[in-house]
Structure 1
């Protein structure tokens, strides 16, 4: 019975993308370029690093300026955090109702991740951050580690993420995954077992 959820954070549990995309669009426009939020979204859904590299090359912008826009954005989230993803609280409650855990594995540094969770009032049962010494996804180590810590059977878990690397890492640890897809963007789901457009679909995959 699937009752435990292993969450990715940015773009999955917390709705960070609209602000991330807007900040990059603004940098490009300051340099006289024209790019749409959807064009930026197609890049950031692969990774922020990919977006920085591609936009810097395409519009002849110093990558450091794009990276700085992201650092400033994250600093501001201490005071005004981005919203919780629609349906996330309900999915977390559904897992708890089944006696399950809500676990987070993220590339975000611990201070930033903890600050976001606290500011948004999100209570999770464990938090693994790649900068604490874990290899980044799609390496499955973080997933294997969190399952081992809590002695969980992979068959009883569901991994949720928004990028191919989330599904790939989960699969490497033997965990089925659901990919949160952005409507209008035809992106690789990394071979996730399910594709969902809303977290409100998650409770139906539990139990």
Structure 2
């Protein structure tokens, strides 16, 4: 029988995992490129899911008539997405309930996102209480996802072993980042598919998922990977 996972902390991705903001980002990309006389494709938009923002900004510059600097592209996209989130936060199914269950059980949580702090603040300010002990955002790491640095930074800030944590992600790059950090990972594909990866288990939704079930999933994952 697999041992119960210690679950010293749970680390949450934000866009596409905690909140359904990927459509906001994609709409902002379409609008930005159109304003500069170009056309943005869904194929290009999907390639940016899970990227660090400056990486996405450079991709937009390289594949459109947009002549802004990468920092200016990020600022323009963030302005649009933050405005939409401020008007309406589109929570992903089951995310708030699972977060509340974890918090009730005394399990620390971290937010690990490649979005920048002002969007993370817009999301967390709409949540009851202080939901996260640690918030790692894209502008505060040298290497973004799929590099393990964001998740390693979160584990270090919490003072926990990465292998004793659980990560929840919706993108291939995010899953790769968490797995590379040595964190058992729950993959919940949303806008783009996630290829199977050792160290991660895929589920369809967080809706109805409890802390106890999360422990079972990660214990089983550890048993299969061991």
- State the distance in 2 between where 1:110 and 1:67 align: 12
2:121 counterpart residue number: 114
Residue 205 of structure 1 is matched in structure 2 by 214
Q: Tell me, which stretches of 5 or more residues in structure 2 are unaligned?
A: 217-226
Matched, 1:126 2:134: yes
Residue in 2 that maps onto 1:162:
170
Distance 1:92 1:26, change over 3 A: same
State TM-score, norm by structure 2. 0.70
Partner of 2:146, secondary structure, is coil
Aligned to 1:70: 77
Q: Alpha-carbon deviation of 1:75?
A: 4.3
Structural mapping, 1:9-48, within 5 Å: 9-30=14-35, 35=40, 38-47=42-51
Give ranges in structure 1 of 5+ residues lacking alignment.
Answer: none
How many Å apart are 1:76 and its aligned residue? 1.5
Over 3 Å counting, the alpha-carbon distance change for 1:202 and 1:189 in structure 2 is farther
Give the aligned CA root-mean-square deviation in angstroms. 3.3
Q: TM-score, normalised by structure 1?
A: 0.75
Please tell me whether the aligned partners of residues 24 and 40 of structure 1 are also in contact (alpha carbons under 8 angstroms).
Answer: no
| Partner Cα separation in structure 2 for residue 68 and residue 49 of structure 1 | 10
| Residue 31 of structure 1, CA deviation | 5.7
